[in-house]
Chain A
Amino acid sequence: DSGVTQTPKHLITATGQRVTLRCSPRSGDLSVYWYQQSLDQGLQFLIQYYNGEERAKGNILERFSAQQFPDLHSELNLSSLELGDSALYFCASSVAGGTADTQYFGPGTRLTVL
């Protein structure tokens, strides 16, 4: 158990809908990362937050947005969902988001868009 929690574990929804995925980092970690893993694809980095501020942006679609709250938990919002958004979404956290920081991954949220 990495100490990173993600809810829900599974989510099934329809195209065009909007969902929110939630992540609580390990106690004391200030940085949160979001990743997408689609079928037969590697991990795609979406976005990183550090202490409430956006630090780095990867291949995140405009339909997706994220935020990190004062209590350091983070939410990833996915809107106008398409079939291709079906994937496993991981959240990870690290102490400070520095160059040599280890990232600790949560169990993931599996999103299925029908």
Chain B
Amino acid sequence: ILNVEQSPQSLHVQEGDSTNFTCSFPSSNFYALHWYRWETAKSPEALFVMTLNGDEKKKGRISATLNTKEGYSYLYIKGSQPEDSATYLCASLYSNYQLIWGAGTKLIIKP
């Protein structure tokens, strides 16, 4: 059974601080890694899709890296703002088109 794990489960960060969290996934038959941002009472919104080992993507203050050999991805947020408060989900896609989702990291930014 394929399992994607995210850590930590939740995180409280002071406004202005930088933070990062992890997504671990089985690397066998891996195709792509997705990161989504999910605000309360809204739908998940795509942040990044990464496929190649060593990939780095950036969108404003948020960036992500991918290591497909060891099966992990990091999401970084620089200079956290209150609007960054959300649950960050990762999902890993495999060769049978199965997209396996992690349980998410809930990020709370303290003003």
**What residues of chain A have their CB less than 8 Å away from a CB belonging to chain B?**
2, 33, 41-45, 48, 55-56, 58, 90, 92, 97, 99-108
Question: Which residues in B have their C-beta under 8 angstroms from that of A107?
Answer: 43
Q: Knowing A100-B32, A102-B46 touch, does A43 contact B101 (C-beta < 8 A)? A: yes
Contact of B103 among A42, A56, A92, A102 (CB under 8 A): A42
Write 11 A-B pairs (CB below 8 A) sorted by A numbering.
A2-B43, A41-B103, A44-B101, A45-B99, A90-B44, A92-B44, A100-B51, A102-B34, A103-B34, A105-B44, A105-B45
Chain B, residue nearest A1 (CB): B43
Q: How large is the interface on B (under 10, 10 to 19, 20 to 34, 35 or more residues)?
A: 20 to 34
User: Which of B10-18, B60-68, B77-85, B90-98 interfaces with chain A?
Assistant: B90-98
Question: Which residues in B have their C-beta under 8 angstroms from that of A108?
Answer: 43
In the docked arrangement, what's the CA distance between A90 and B99, Å?
A: 14
Question: Which residues in A have their C-beta under 8 angstroms from that of B43?
Answer: 2, 90, 105-108
Closest chain-B Cβ to A90's Cβ sits at a distance in Å of 7
Question: Which residues in A have their C-beta under 8 angstroms from that of B101?
Answer: 42-45
In the complex, per-residue mask of B3-25: 1 if CB is within 8 Å of any chain A CB, else 0: 00000000000000000000000
**What residues of chain B have their CB less than 8 Å away from a CB belonging to chain A?**
31-32, 34, 43-46, 49, 51, 89, 91, 93, 96-104
Per DSSP, chain B at the interface is strand
Q: Knowing A99-B32, A100-B51 touch, does A56 contact B46 (C-beta < 8 A)? A: no
Question: Which residues in A have their C-beta under 8 angstroms from that of B31?
Answer: 99
| Contacting pair B104 A42 (CB below 8 A) | yes
| Contacting pair B100 A45 (CB below 8 A) | yes
Closest chain-B Cβ to A14's Cβ sits at a distance in Å of 26
In the docked arrangement, what's the CA distance between A43 and B100, Å?
A: 9
Most buried by A among B32, B34, B43, B46: B43
